[in-house]
Amino acid sequence: MSRRRKFQLIGEYRVCREYRIDGEYRFFRQLRIVRLLHKLRKFWIIRVIDELRKFWVFSFLYIFIRKLLIRMHYYLTIAQLHR
């Protein structure tokens, strides 16, 4: 993992901490989701959502869309496995 990537993750980690105030477990789960997001970065929609996240108004929307994307990614992976 490159130094730059590490800093990016730390940055995202801090953002996640702002969204979740209900305990450590959620906090670490969120970080794992962030790692998955780094893999999904190639999709332009992720970049768009990242831009929106800068405005706190969109923070709830961001979490919702991100959860949706992760669920989608999960089902796609399962579909590939059962091909």
| 3-class state of residue 83 by DSSP | coil
The residue segments making up the domain with residue 16 are 3-81
Per-residue pLDDT of the chain (83 residues; tens, 9 = 90+): 444 444 444 444 444 444 444 444 444 455 555 556 556 555 656 666 666 666 656 667 777 878 888 888 788 787 777 76
Indicate the number of domains in the chain: 1
Quote the pTM value: 0.28
- Which phi and psi angles does 75 have, rounded to 5°? -70, -35
Type and span of the H or E element at 73: helix 59-81
Listing DSSP states for 2-50 in one string gives -HHHHHHHHHHHHHHHHH--S-HHHHHHHHHHHHHHHHHTTSHHHHHHH
